[in-house]
A and B are shown apart, each in its own frame.
Chain A
Amino acid sequence: MHQSTLAQLSTALESNQISSEELTTLYLDRCKQFNGSLNCFITINEELALDQAKSADQQRAAGNASPLTGIPIAQKDIFCTNGIKTSCGSKMLDNFIAPYDATVIEKMNAAGIVNIGKTNMDEFAMGSSNETSFYGAVKNPWDQDTVPGGSSGGSASAVAARLSPAATGTDTGGSIRQPASLCGITGLKPTYGRVSRYGMIAFASSLDQGGPMTQTAEDAALMMNVIAGFDERDSTSAEHPVDDYTARLNDSIEGLKIGLPKEYFGEGLDSNIAKIVEAGIKELEKLGATCKEIELPNTELSIPAYYVVAPAECSSNLSRFDSVRFGHRCENPKDLSDLYCRSRGEGFGKEVKRRIMIGAYVLSAGYYDAYYLKAQKIRHLIRDDFQNALKDVDVIAGPTATGTAFKLNEMIDDPVSMYLSDLYTVSVNLAGLPAISVPAGFVNNLPVGLQLIGNYFEESRLLNIAHRFQQATDHHKAIPEGFE
């Protein structure tokens, strides 16, 4: 049963093959069995999940079920969950019990989805390896000496190991797509503003976007149908009609025009990854798509621009952690400055401190124009590059990550190398576009993702292409050894 997709579980519940309580118990048992080795959960919500499962069973019996009612889904520990510890992977929030639900959680609860647990993540979503978490590194189930990617590494690892059939993630610079690629699952970063940010602990507010991490594109569509939509409590929520994301899944992709950015297939890309990605694109051609080379000339500048914009916004957002109203407080502060400085110094880990300091520096008097303003101008160029390219093609395809999962501790002391590995993902966030990563094959038994980037609010089209790809391929069905 644990090998099933959301769509299959939905059918199983609908036809009374299994109850939500039985299903939830099955997944809770897997979580308890494997969390010790993978460390993908910060909190397993045993009691809550079983209560929610019982209500879901009643809801189904009463004929009030929606497709995902009664299915357990794991939530990244960045989403505030009323009455449950919400740590964001940080010592700062180790003692924080969220007093309200994020909109995403509220919508999932309303749909009768069972919240099985809160997944591990890089501290405040800052990292590409899940090694910056206060709760320790997460392991990649494909090879437990390697990282799952980040920042939504706990979610990716949990779904890959089938400890949860699906999970939520958030993506500020690739944090859904890169771990999806490294763990062999499907990850969709929606258009900026498509999924509400209310109650999603802020990292870089002009870039952050929540989305689904699933086994298949069909499952991502089912989750999008629950979580997408306008929310007046998020000031940048998009007032744009919401699709039925499952409606176009089976449409033909005959005549689809795919752009292949030459900058995405250059020197930085491992040749083995390139082969897998090219084979994936061939598969789309067999389904009727045509390809042409395009240019995104400012791709390389996306990394420096991102590492100005994101830290600047992070230093501003994280100033709320003053240890007055919530969060970690140091022992015996001698005055207010000491309270602020020591509580923050103790509560934040190294990577978070580095980013806060970079942000404080680039925003400080005398440096604003040279860094922040410059980065915002480059952001304009990057957005225009995509818009020009998307005049000629329907979607853009390329690799998600520059390599497969790397070894634990390999890059943790080299932040610049870690940042450079975000090359194919950060520009999408700067431009606010939707993008999906789908499993496309393996190099040395480690998964490789194919990334598809669409125009604004074209999630349905991306899900359609990804679904057709998954109808023609089996990469997404592979389960790591020991977790079958």
Chain B
Amino acid sequence: MSLDKSEVQKIAWLARLSIDEQDISTYSDELSNILGLVETMNSVDTDGISPIAHPLDLTARLRADAVTEVNQREQFQKNAPLTDNGCYLVPKVIE
């Protein structure tokens, strides 16, 4: 599998990553090489094998729907790039 430049741009957009125009062909080569490695998986027949998401077949535990956290907004917002009046600020979305 080799990825051309437009596919690299599409993936970068899906992942919300800006990449420099001059780096696209390097990414295209590197990602194609990695996918080449990955595709060696196809050498084995996996028909009839069930997929596993987790080695120990665990399922997520459930808990009571109860409030367990206290409000720490001010402390958490100390790490925010931009806030106002307890709100996180981003560029205007709706005109």
Say yes or no for A379: interface residue by CB 8 A criterion: yes
Contacts of A95 in B (CB 8 A): 79
Residues in B whose Cβ lies below 8 Å from that of A345 = 17-19
**Is B67 an interface residue when CB atoms closer than 8 A count as contact?**
no
Is A193 among interface residues, defined by CB-CB distance under 8 A? yes
Least CB separation from B48: chain A residue: A377
Which of B16, B37, B51 contacts A373, CB < 8 Å?
B51
Q: Summarize A's interface: helix, strand, loop or mixed.
A: helix
Which of B30, B46, B56, B76 is the one whose CB lies under 8 Å from A99? B76
Task: Assess A340 versus B44: contact at CB under 8 Å? Given A99-B75, A431-B55.
Answer: no
Residues of B within 8 A of A323 (CB): 81
Of the residues B14, B50, B75, B91, contact of A377 by C-beta under 8 Å: B50
Report the nearest B residue to A97, measured CB to CB.
B79
Whether B58 sits at the interface, judged by CB under 8 Å, is yes
A337 contacts the other chain (Cβ, under 8 Å)?
yes
Whether the Cβ atoms of B14 and A335 lie closer than 8 Å is no
Known: A360-B15, A380-B50, A380-B52. A415 touches B38 (CB 8 A): no
Is A479 interfacial (CB-CB < 8 Å)? no
Residues of A within 8 A of B46 (CB): 374, 377-378, 381
Residue A40 is within 8 A (CB to CB) of chain B in the complex:
no
1/0 contact trace for B12-54 toward A, CB 8 Å?
1111111100000001001101111111111110100111111
A361 to B11 CA separation, bound complex (whole angstroms): 6
Q: A336-B93, A337-B16, A375-B41 are in contact. Are A192 and B88 (CB under 8 A)?
A: no
Is residue A232 contacting chain B, with contact meaning CB distance below 8 A? yes
Q: Chain A 271-298, CB within 8 Å of chain B: the 1/0 string? A: 0000000000000000000000000001
Residue contact B80 to A371, C-beta cutoff 8 Å: no
Task: Note all chain B residues with C-beta closer than 8 A to A353.
Answer: 17, 19, 27
Q: Are B30 and A415 in contact (CB under 8 A)?
A: yes
Residue in A99, A305, A361, A431 whose CB lies within 8 Å of B31: A361
Number of A-B contacts (CB under 8 A): 170
B17 interface neighbour in A329, A344, A377, A380, Cβ under 8 Å? A344
A419 in contact (CB, < 8 A): yes
A416 near B17 with CB under 8 A, answer no
Q: How far is the CB of A441 from chain B (nearest CB, A)?
A: 31
B27 touches A371 (CB 8 A): no
- B82 interface contact, C-beta 8 A: yes
- Main secondary structure on B side of the interface with A: loop
Report whether A336 and B90 are in contact in the complex, using a CB–CB cutoff of 8 Å.
yes
Q: CA–CA, A375 to B50, complex, Å?
A: 11
Asked if A356 and B88 sit within 8 Å, CB to CB, the answer is no
Residue of B nearest to A384 (CB): B49
Instruction: Give Cα distance in the complex from A327 to B76, angstroms.
Output: 12
Residues of B close to A379: CB separation below 8 A: 51-52, 55
Asked whether, in the complex, the Cβ of A383 is within 8 Å of the Cβ of B52, the reply is yes
Which listed residue (B8, B61, B82, B88) contacts A357, Cβ 8 A? B8
State the CA gap A278–B70 with chains docked (Å). 56
Contacts of B61 in A (CB 8 A): 232, 235
Give the most central of B58, B60, B61, B81: most A CB within 10 Å: B81
Q: A193-B58, A324-B88, A357-B8 are in contact. Are A419 and B17 (CB under 8 A)?
A: no
Given that A298-B44, A360-B14 are known contacts, is A96 also in contact with B91, CB under 8 Å in the complex? Answer: no
Q: Are A96 and B79 in contact (CB under 8 A)?
A: yes
Interface size of A by CB at 8 A reads: 73
A193: shortest Cβ distance to chain B, in Å?
7
Q: How far is the CA of A325 from the CA of B83 in the complex (A)?
A: 9
Closest to A191 in B: B56
Q: Complex formed: what's the CA distance from A14 to B16 in Å?
A: 54
In the complex the two chains form, what is the Cα distance from A456 to B55 in whole Å?
10
Closest to A237 in B: B61
Tell me whether A424 is interfacial, beta carbon within 8 Å.
no
Query: Are the CB atoms of A415 and B33 closer together than 8 Å?
Result: yes
Complex alpha-carbon distance, A361 and B10, angstroms: 9
Question: What separation, in Å, do the CA atoms of A371 and B58 have in the docked complex?
Answer: 23
* Beta-carbon nearest neighbor of B8 in chain A: A357
A334-357: which have CB < 8 Å to B? 334-342, 344-346, 348, 353-354, 356-357
Interface residues in A301-318 (C-beta closer than 8 Å to B): 301, 303-305, 307-308, 315
| A97 adjacent to B78 (CB under 8 Å) | yes
The yes or no answer to A236 lying at the interface (CB within 8 A) is: yes
- The answer to whether residues A236 and B54 also contact, given A329-B81, A335-B91, A415-B30 and a CB cut-off of 8 A, is yes
> What are 8 A-B interface contacts by the 8 Å CB criterion?
A97-B79, A307-B38, A325-B76, A328-B81, A354-B30, A377-B49, A381-B49, A416-B33
A341-B16, A378-B41 are known contacts; what are 10 more A-B pairs with Cβ within 8 Å?
A99-B79, A232-B61, A235-B61, A307-B38, A308-B38, A334-B91, A353-B17, A354-B27, A361-B3, A380-B50
Shortest 7 CB-CB contacts between residues of A and residues of B: A432-B55, A376-B51, A345-B18, A329-B81, A326-B79, A377-B46, A341-B18
